A and B are shown apart, each in its own frame.
Chain A
Amino acid sequence: MIGREDVAHVARLARLALTDAELETMREQLNAILAHIDALKAVDTAGIEPTSHAVPQFNVMRDDEPRPCFPPEEMLANAPDRSGDFFRVPRIIEE
Chain B
Amino acid sequence: MRAFIHELTDAFTRGETTPSKVTDAYLARIATLDDKVGAYITVTADHARSAAQASDKRYREGRPLGPLDGAPIALKDVFCTKGVRTTCASKILENFVPPYDATVVDRLARAGAVTLGKSNMDEFAMGSSTEHSALKVTRNPWDLTRVPGGSSGGPAAAVAAGLAAGSLGTDTGGSIRQPAAFCGVVGLKPTYGRVSRYGLVAFASSLDHPGPFGADVTDTALLLGAIAGHDPNDATSLAAPVADYTAGLEQGVRGLRLGVPDEYFTKGMDAEVEGAVRAAIDVLKGLGATLERLSLPATPHALATYYVIAPAEASSNLARYDGVKYGLRVPGRDLIDMESKTRAAGFGAEVKRRIMLGTYVLSAGYYDAYYGQAQKVRTLVRRDFDAAFDRVDLIVAPTTPNVPFRRGEKADPIAMYLNDVFTIPADMSGVPAVSVPCGFTASGLPIGLQLIGRALDEATVLRAARAYERATDWHTRRPELS
Contacts and interface: CB of A to CB of B under 8 A. Distances in A.
B96 A78 contact: yes
Of the four ranges (under 10, 10 to 19, 20 to 34, 35 or more), the interface on chain A belongs to: 35 or more
Interface in A35-63: 36-37, 39-41, 43, 45, 48-55, 57, 60, 62
Contact of B375 (A6, A12, A51): A51
A1 interface: no
B232 A62 contact: yes
A74 B99 contact: yes
Interface string A8-31: 001111111110001000100110
A25 B335 CA distance: 27
A90 interface: yes
B193 interface: yes
B304 A16 contact: no
Q: Which of A11, A29, A87, A90 lies at the interface centre, i.e. has the most chain B CB atoms within 10 A of its CB?
A: A90
A14 B195 CA distance: 31
A57 B380 CA distance: 19
A30 B340 CA distance: 20
A7 to B, nearest CB: 7
B325 A87 contact: yes
Interface in A52-95: 52-55, 57, 60, 62, 70, 74-75, 77-81, 87, 89-92
B192 A54 contact: yes
Contact of B414 (A13, A36, A51): A36
A18 B329 CA distance: 16
Interface string B204-241: 00110000000000000000000000001001101000
Contact of B99 (A18, A37, A77): A77
Interface string B322-351: 111111110111111111110110010000
B59 interface: no
Interface in B357-397: 357, 359-361, 363, 369-370, 372-380, 382
A11 B97 CA distance: 29
Interface of A: 2, 6-7, 10-18, 22, 26, 29-30, 32-34, 36-37, 39-41, 43, 45, 48-55, 57, 60, 62, 70, 74-75, 77-81, 87, 89-92
Given A14-B356, A40-B304, A78-B325, 13 more contacts: A13-B363, A16-B352, A32-B413, A43-B376, A48-B376, A49-B379, A51-B382, A54-B427, A57-B193, A79-B326, A80-B329, A90-B338, A92-B335
Interface of B: 95-97, 99-100, 191-193, 206-207, 232, 235-236, 238, 301, 303-305, 307-308, 315, 319, 322-329, 331-341, 343-344, 347, 352-353, 355-357, 359-361, 363, 369-370, 372-380, 382, 413-414, 427-431, 455
